[in-house]
A and B are shown apart, each in its own frame.
Chain A
């Protein structure tokens, strides 16, 4: 099913993050070599590097796209204790003729005194906002009050998490019933068994973020965290990359039943936990409909997970980092009985949401 297309990234050190834009036609990579590269997909499906520039004076941990409504905007965060917002400049120039685009720094967010480990733009309906988290355990939420002026960002909230933060995820739900919510993971590796995932929710009354939940069962360092795209669901699905892959559902308990004004209470269930990577899991990423989860670990594989109608999550595919499928991904029309039984639902599940209704 999958065709691997390897790309000569030409980064001088590790690549720490890859990010697709809203429409899936552009890709940004960031690396310890302090640079960010932007890749555009050509008509033929090839990825071409259209920009590469030095963004920070330390390892760049994360890069993320803003909603295109705000322009072609990237945010990056780095070991050098800063996060930065970049905008692509449109205009005819020599760069353009060479197929290169030009990105300018719009702002540097310098509030952190330690490495900034993650940066994420808030869902579009909240306006132009972004959250950063840093190794000193502080989540900062910035807002650009004027979306036309990307160089002005004001620090709106500082949330102390007590633990060194490694990753954040906004709840993407656009429902008015769901307050803005942000999940924070910690990679604190000190021996104390503190819960490593905290969820903060915006309280309209106090106009502050307050802790809504702590996932007490997650006590190992967390490397990545991701809310599934919501698509009208009433509850939230949260994937966590720690020493294994875990998937939680968070069902809001009806407001009337809880005391009004306080944070929403959630009914939290762990619906899946997989240690198939046999090692640290570094990344989790949801497909666009929130039905398939991809995870990658120290075993160098990407594994795909999907739930059946019974909410039973199963592995539906394994992809090797070098592009070769490990098993299961038999080519179309090429029946392979030996692989068939091992992953019975493969065909179905890789067909993704086509069978869901």
Chain B
């Protein structure tokens, strides 16, 4: 067996020279980078969608290739100028349908294209004829996805194809020098032992398996459940293929586990995983990386086609692209359909994931940004047309975004290997663009750095970018008030790249009980009496509640309402009010408290209220109010209300009403819908007609919504029940059905009311007091006897037997 080749084919004895050339090249480009590139953000229309672009090393020309386009453009300051059309010849050839194009970084005349029919073509711009086509390699059986020149070696070209093979070409020869395939991988690294038992000596497997003719055939071995390593390790071998190559010493093949069944097969074209990208390492002369549709990335030594140096699964799903870091030896960026860009450190024994960027769509291309150690540009192959530049240290938010393209971006290239500001791109929308980094939009700038939300009880949740919170306190240190130590002052480490910029501080400002929380609302809602007692008592009760909660204005309003509507002797007082309201001076204290919270310029406020009322309410209602009210009050009286009839003087009453009307309008404009609704319910028919139905409904729904927020279900239900608005009162009847069975005959109660149709007895009798239960009825689910809640509770204190005398031991939960 010949020893493995130690040098590149075609570069015999020139390894050292190659390295020297590489260094020379980098010096040249550095010098070129010093000369400023000029240009602007611009685009030009192409005749056809582009599939790939590549830049000449002079940074002044770009080649665009696609299914039906292959052109070279000169990049001038203001525009792109078409320089050369490489699609010549009458009949369109599939060889010209390019999937990829690459311009040699050492030879300005040398280009290579990958055709969708599997052909690799090289082009020599130095040819005198119109047709610049140089060589044609027809070795791949399916689309060639990627071609790549060796960064320093002029004659070495690498291709990766859908058929699963990578081929290395020497441009001075007619066919490929070596072929690489994802197959024959697993075998090599572990030298015929499974990877899980490295300590097992190879001779354990000796003589267990003999290759028939190691030099000629490829052996493919597929593992099964019974296939285990003889070295007593528990792992089944799931997939091993052996392709004996001239470099493999035949004896080593015996190491294959004995129980495996070896079956010779031919070349396995089409069965191996498609190659999506191949990239020569920039720093390591012999190394290249390849990415596969099954998510694997392999590292190859170009001299060793028999096995890859290393393989690891980089992505979930196809890995579409990879790019070596231009400076950091061993950093490889890979992008996949799983929408991620991962940066791998290949210098360690196992490839280590050092960064992971989450993009919003599958990653079709990835290119490190020159001179910016942590930046890389990506574009997607579907959905997303933008180009993003990421700082890999901030993996969630792109540092920059180019939004020029209207269709998928297919090719991106930094214009010069040492200039970070010019990016070129080609797209399916048939345009070629030059983007200036300073024209990019920066999503970070527009991203909202703060979140703020008012809570139900007056507490505030606040999240803010730490730098906003921290720098402020640093610049303006809190003025030494020891009562408020800054508990949460995070020290920021300036060496971190995104110190304070990519993290937020979250805090909740909780309001102390009683100081401004909404507890007054809850207490008021629970304690107000809205019905069931005479008006005067209701008003007094509510005034008392309000006073106890420290809400004096509200208390005075209730008192005032009581005076207006319940006290016969106070017509004169209201009359006085009326006159005050109409314009006489004199700040009557009663008046003040009635209408105004703070009562600084009493009359001004009064007129203001008047006006606001006029703005929002129909004047006609007000004009009619006197008449309607009169009839209202008449009704009240006939209904046996406790309002004395004789206090009603039509003249005054209209004003009272107006005064009152000011009240709820004012209240609800101040956001106190509770007062408005409570007054509406308490006063009932006295005011209802004067406020239009829609407004009432609006108040009710708003108040009910508030009550429900605070989980005051009982109050909410009471309000619904007491409301006269049909739209409201049906609220607690919607989608609730109660099916009742008669407690005597156990049949469903079909009709409404208390009497069962069938047995003609009252169904819901209290077993204790023998009266019909209206209201809360509680019953034993065992014997269906029950009664008033209080009665049953009292009964059960003395006995656990059913009060109906049925002998059942009732259980209530």
Hey, which bits of chain A sit against chain B, CB under 8 A?
1-9, 11-20, 22-24, 27, 29-34, 45, 47, 57-59, 61, 79-81, 115, 124-125, 166, 173-177, 187, 223-224, 229-235, 251, 254, 282-292, 294-302, 308-310, 319-326, 331-332, 334, 350-357
Contact = CB atoms under 8 A, between A and B. Distances in A.
A4 B508 contact: yes
Nearest to A81: B360
B456 interface: yes
B616 A321 contact: no
Interface stretch (B249-257, B485-493, B567-575, B628-636): B485-493
A323 B485 CA distance: 10
A233 B673 CA distance: 8
A13 B394 contact: yes
A4 B615 contact: no
Contacts of A286: 454
Contacts of A115: 443
Interface of B: 339, 358-361, 383-384, 394, 396-397, 443, 446-465, 468-473, 478, 483-490, 501-512, 515-518, 520-521, 549-551, 553-554, 557, 596-598, 605, 608, 615-616, 618, 667-673, 675-677, 694-695, 697-699, 701-703, 705-706, 708-711
A323 B488 contact: yes
A61 B448 contact: yes
B671 A289 contact: yes
Nearest to B498: A13
Contact of A309 (B448, B457, B465, B605): B605
Given A34-B396, A173-B698, A294-B454, A319 B512 contact: no
A14 B465 contact: yes
Among A30, A79, A187, residue most surrounded by chain B Cβ atoms (within 10 Å): A79
B758 to A, nearest CB: 37
A29 B452 CA distance: 10
Contact of B509 (A2, A20, A175, A331): A2
Contact of B472 (A9, A320, A352): A320
A353 B597 CA distance: 11
Q: Which 9 A-B pairs have the closest CB atoms?
A: A24-B456, A321-B469, A175-B698, A15-B504, A283-B452, A15-B463, A18-B451, A300-B468, A9-B506
B507 A351 contact: no
A218 to B, nearest CB: 18
Contact of B508 (A7, A292, A356): A7
Given A232-B677, A286-B454, A322-B490, 20 more contacts: A2-B460, A4-B509, A7-B508, A13-B504, A14-B465, A20-B454, A20-B455, A23-B711, A24-B455, A59-B443, A80-B360, A115-B443, A174-B705, A176-B694, A229-B671, A230-B698, A288-B454, A321-B462, A321-B507, A353-B520
Contact of A24 (B359, B457, B505, B701): B457
B468 A223 contact: no
Contacts of B361: 57
B463 A29 contact: yes
A323 B470 CA distance: 11
Contact of B512 (A2, A8, A124, A353): A2
Nearest to A290: B671
B446 A9 contact: no
Nearest to B484: A324
B675 A357 contact: yes
Given A5-B508, A174-B701, A20 B453 contact: yes
A97 to B, nearest CB: 26
A326 B472 CA distance: 11
B507 A4 contact: yes
Q: Chain B CB within 10 Å — which of A282, A290, A353, A354 has the most?
A: A354
13 contacts: A2-B460, A4-B510, A11-B506, A13-B396, A14-B504, A17-B451, A175-B695, A286-B454, A287-B454, A289-B706, A309-B596, A322-B507, A352-B517
Contacts of A174: 698, 701-702, 705
A147 to B, nearest CB: 11
A294 B460 contact: yes
Contacts of A289: 518, 521, 671-673, 706
A8 B503 CA distance: 11
A11 B670 contact: no
B503 A18 contact: no
Contacts of B667: 356-357
Contacts of B447: 14, 16, 32, 59, 61
Contacts of B457: 24
A355 B551 contact: yes
Nearest to A311: B608
Given A175-B698, A309-B597, A357-B554, A233 B443 contact: no
